[in-house]
Amino acid sequence: MNEHDSERIAGLLEADGYRPVAEAAHAEVVVLNTCAVRENADNRLYGALGHLKPLKEQNRRLRIVVAGCLAQKDQGLIQRKAPWVDVVIGTHALPSLLDLIRRSELDGSQMDVREFTEVFPSALPARRGSQHHAWVSVSVGCDNACTFCIVPLVRGPQLSRSLGDVLSEVQALARQGVVEICLLGQNVNTYGRDLTVPESPRKPRFAELLRAVDGVEGIRRIRFTSPHPHDFTEDVIQAMAECEAVCEHIHFPLQSGSDRVLGLMRRSYRSERYLGWLDRIRSAVPGIAVTTDIIVGFPGETEHDFQDTLSVTEAAQFDAAYTFQYSPRPGTPAATRPDQVPKGVVQERFDRLVALQERISLETNERMVGGSYEVLIEGEGRKGRLAGRTRTNKLVHLDAELGPGEFGQAMVTAAHPHHLDGELAASLVGSTSRA
């Protein structure tokens, strides 16, 4: 979501005539778009602002903008700690960015941290990092209240975009040559719950949205992130199985394998139900890759709880896992719990989980060796080779005379925990393959 917002910020500035420069020293405007989900966002923000201070002293016309979650959360604190900041703009106020920059030139520092989104960031111009891939937000905010998570605080309650708006954006992107889209929402499964459709008793559902987007000509790959295991539904599985462009990959956040910890996290599913969903997804969509998020060392987590996480990880056979060491996010309920797990213990558990997942990732990747898979070229990879992604979102390094956005068929020659090596078997122009 943060990356998506950054593309909008760059797009707004470019539409106003600004051009990117390589160094802050040559800039007229510097925007720091913060993400409070990541650890140490505060330290990194104030570190970066410290580096910008001398530039501001040399050039009073330089505009320094702080955007994103930390701007929303810390609001006036940022300008108190770094009075050389010109604009603090929250997650809901992006459409006002240019206005705030101009006003700061005339009237001094500005802040807009309004509580509600009036214009979806997706409706703003974008300067996309890729010509063939685009993020499309289907909703912003979240109605859940996971006790470790800052998102509801900084992004507010869920607000869905109308199905028609999402579809129009995807159609426009397809006309611009985009072949892969990723539908974005904090909890895509509850998409539409907050919408009312005139003269219809029914609210749009995520599965319908998937089917509608699947019908857009030119879009060959559809991804989405993230579904919540509590709100997952059979109709989404059916749509995934039946929609040709929907990729065989799901990011399905587990967070913990311990039912007791899931309760403490206020995640309203249990490990058995989670694994049940995986069985159903895998039998409906053969060959699907599953990735996940896992937090280690949530307050109160015991060795027994952690063993449950290891067991569920083994049972789930994830293709990859984003593993995080718990760190308190001020303002969240878990941050004030007295039973924080000592750092050394968290690190030691984290190392064990990473070792287990590396083994599983390598084994799942090894099963692909000798197979042939459609890859979409992203650009340059390591050691002068190209990097492409399979429909299952595996990174493949290969040599080929192809450019970003082109498709090829790759024979996988070697497996590693985080990528595959391959050889080009064929370049593909007009076909969509489920291989």
Binding residues (CB under 6 A) for ligand SF4: these are 142, 144-146, 149, 151-152, 186-187, 228
Question: Helices marked H in 227-367 — which ranges?
Answer: 234-242, 259-264, 271-284, 303-316, 343-366
* Dist CA 423 CA 432 (whole Å): 19
Q: Min. distance of Cβ 144 from ligand SF4 in angstroms?
A: 4
- If the CB atoms of residues 6 and 226 are measured against ligand SF4, the closer one turns out to be 226
- If the CB atoms of residues 142 and 173 are measured against ligand SF4, the closer one turns out to be 142
Q: Min. distance of Cβ 149 from ligand SF4 in angstroms?
A: 3
Q: Min. distance of Cβ 146 from ligand SF4 in angstroms?
A: 3
- If the CB atoms of residues 147 and 357 are measured against ligand SF4, the closer one turns out to be 147
Q: Min. distance of Cβ 368 from ligand SF4 in angstroms?
A: 30
Rounded to 5 degrees, what are φ and ψ at 16? -95, 5
- If the CB atoms of residues 31 and 254 are measured against ligand SF4, the closer one turns out to be 254
Taking alpha carbons only, the member of 267, 277, 271 closest to residue 258 is 271
Q: Min. distance of Cβ 331 from ligand SF4 in angstroms?
A: 12
DSSP3 helix / strand / coil % (the chain, rounded to 5): 40, 20, 40
- If the CB atoms of residues 214 and 293 are measured against ligand SF4, the closer one turns out to be 293
End-to-end Cα separation, the chain, in angstroms: 29
Type of residue at 217 = E
- If the CB atoms of residues 72 and 79 are measured against ligand SF4, the closer one turns out to be 72
Peptide bond into 271 cis (omega under 30): no
Q: Min. distance of Cβ 34 from ligand SF4 in angstroms?
A: 16
Taking alpha carbons only, the member of 106, 391, 89 closest to residue 240 is 391
Q: Min. distance of Cβ 286 from ligand SF4 in angstroms?
A: 28
- If the CB atoms of residues 155 and 394 are measured against ligand SF4, the closer one turns out to be 155
Q: Min. distance of Cβ 152 from ligand SF4 in angstroms?
A: 5
- If the CB atoms of residues 117 and 186 are measured against ligand SF4, the closer one turns out to be 186
Kindly give, in sequence order, each residue whose CB lies less than 8 Å from that of residue 283, ignoring residues fewer than 6 positions away: none
Q: Min. distance of Cβ 266 from ligand SF4 in angstroms?
A: 8
Q: Min. distance of Cβ 141 from ligand SF4 in angstroms?
A: 8
- If the CB atoms of residues 186 and 392 are measured against ligand SF4, the closer one turns out to be 186
What element of type H or E holds 250?
Answer: strand 249-251
Taking alpha carbons only, the member of 398, 432, 427, 400 closest to residue 412 is 398
The neighbouring-strand residues paired with 104 are: none
Residue 108 DSSP code = S
- If the CB atoms of residues 256 and 361 are measured against ligand SF4, the closer one turns out to be 256
Neighbours of 351 (CB within 10 A): 12
Question: Helices marked H in 215-302 — which ranges?
Answer: 234-242, 259-264, 271-284
What does the buried/exposed string (b/e) look like for 56-77 if buried means 16 or more CB atoms within 10 Å of the residue's CB? beeeeebbbbbbbbbbbbbeee
What element of type H or E holds 97?
Answer: helix 97-107
Type of residue at 181 = I
* Dist CA 231 CA 251 (whole Å): 14
